[in-house]
Amino acid sequence: MKFTRLGNSGLTISQLCLGCMTYGDKSAGWHGDWLLDEDESRPFFRQALEAGINFFDTANGYAGGTSEEITGKLLKEMAYRDEIVVATKAFIPWRRAPNTGGLSRKSLMQAIDDSLMRLGMDYVDLFQIHRWDDETPIEETMEALHDIVKSGKARYIGASSMYAWQFAKAQETARANGWTRFISMQNQLNLLYREEEREMIPLCADQGVGLIPWSPLARGRLARPLGETTVRSETDGVGKRLYKEGDEADAAIINALGQLAEARGDKMASLGLAWHYTKGVAAPIIGASKPHHIDDAVAALDIELSDEEITKLEAPYRPKMPSGLAMPLAPLDQVSVKEKGG
């Protein structure tokens, strides 16, 4: 395994992060039939740790919080807490009621406590805002995050998909007030979606913010030949919104990746991940539901793409409308009423 520092911080992370959205209770989440329960998840945590991965990412909204429960339980079984880096996120509402989501002080303070309870941990290493909250002043959000760090419940803070101007505003708000700044940006980046190269990636490079992109293989589309499907690809509504079927440029990129994989004798997934390191990425966040997924990801660390190979992979790309930046809060229901004794 290869390691790096996350942004300008002193935090050491493996150059692969295991994304834990795949692991959770099927009955509790919104992901569908591709979720793996605790027993099904256990081999993947073991395999990741044995491969040298020390970085694990989850969120309070994954599988109704059960992703955090599984992640915390299995890491406690298998790893020393001081050696691993655990990241989680807040923003997604946990109920359809006032104050149960978003980035207000009240919501963030509740979210971190709930996440720590589910993880069975005293702190998380990286506490991230899952999306931008138009309803809350950024000053309120950044001060609350600063207080969470100062309380010891999080060591560092990070952000996820938003516009570059929003990220710059948040960072400047923190700087101007002497509050904790973000050390990482978890944005959407892959060979099929490169819009972040326009502003966000240059901004992060200039400011020393580490890149830990989600969906580095376009939800599996860059890991298999065009036309092949999986249970997840058939049931993943989010993926279908992000990557449109029949896009000619996407098809050309997938075919080019497949041709390069055949010529080099490498896996498509390994090459698709290796491309990220040419963009200054610290650690792409990989999903794993089959043993070879982690093997293919680890193999990417030893691949060096030539300028000619990069050009062939990138040439078919056509600009897209920004996607994955907004995650609207659900309409509110009436205030929940506890059952007697609940």
On whether residue 323 sits in a domain, the answer given is no
Q: Pick from 172, 164, 187: which is nearest to 138 by CA?
A: 172
Look up tokens 């065009």; give the residue. Answer: 226
Q: Pick from 206, 72, 55, 191: which is nearest to 126 by CA?
A: 55
User: Range of 136's domain?
Assistant: 3-314
pTM over 0.85: yes
pLDDT tens-place values along the chain, 342 residues long: 999 999 999 999 999 999 999 999 988 756 668 899 999 999 999 999 999 999 999 999 999 999 999 999 999 999 999 999 999 999 999 999 999 999 999 999 999 999 999 999 999 999 999 999 999 999 999 999 999 999 999 999 999 999 999 999 999 999 999 999 999 999 999 999 999 999 999 999 999 999 999 999 999 999 999 877 666 655 566 666 778 888 999 999 999 999 999 999 999 999 999 999 999 999 999 999 999 999 999 999 999 999 999 999 999 999 999 988 887 666 677 677 775 554
φ, ψ at 118 (rounded to 5°):
-65, -40
On whether residue 339 sits in a domain, the answer given is no
C-beta of residue 131 within 8 angstroms of C-beta of residue 140? no
Residue 342 is predicted with a pLDDT of 45
> What burial class does residue 245 get, using C-beta atoms within 10 Å of its C-beta: 0-12 exposed, 13-18 middle, 19+ buried?
exposed
On whether residue 321 sits in a domain, the answer given is no
Q: What is the DSSP string of 301-322?
A: TT----HHHHHHHHTT------
Helices (H), the chain: 38-50, 66-78, 105-119, 138-150, 164-177, 200-207, 231-235, 237-242, 248-264, 268-277, 291-300, 307-314
Q: How far apart are CA 111 and CA 100, in angstroms?
A: 8
On whether residue 57 sits in a domain, the answer given is yes
Active site residue 62: yes
Question: Sign of the CA dihedral 284, 285, 289, 291?
Answer: positive
φ, ψ at 182 (rounded to 5°):
-70, 140
On whether residue 154 sits in a domain, the answer given is yes
Task: List the catalytic residue out of 23, 62, 243, 277.
Answer: 62
Angle between helices 138-150 and 105-119 (to 10 degrees): 40
On whether residue 326 sits in a domain, the answer given is no
3-state secondary structure 180-192: CCEEEEECECECC
Bridge-partner residues for 4, per DSSP? 13
Which CATH number fits the domain that encloses residue 32?
Answer: 3.20.20.100
Residue 228 is predicted with a pLDDT of 77
Bridge-partner residues for 57, per DSSP? 19, 87
On whether residue 129 sits in a domain, the answer given is yes
Structural domain count, the chain:
1
Q: How far apart are CA 325 and CA 39, in angstroms?
A: 33
* Structure-block tokens of residue 320: 């897209």
On whether residue 276 sits in a domain, the answer given is yes
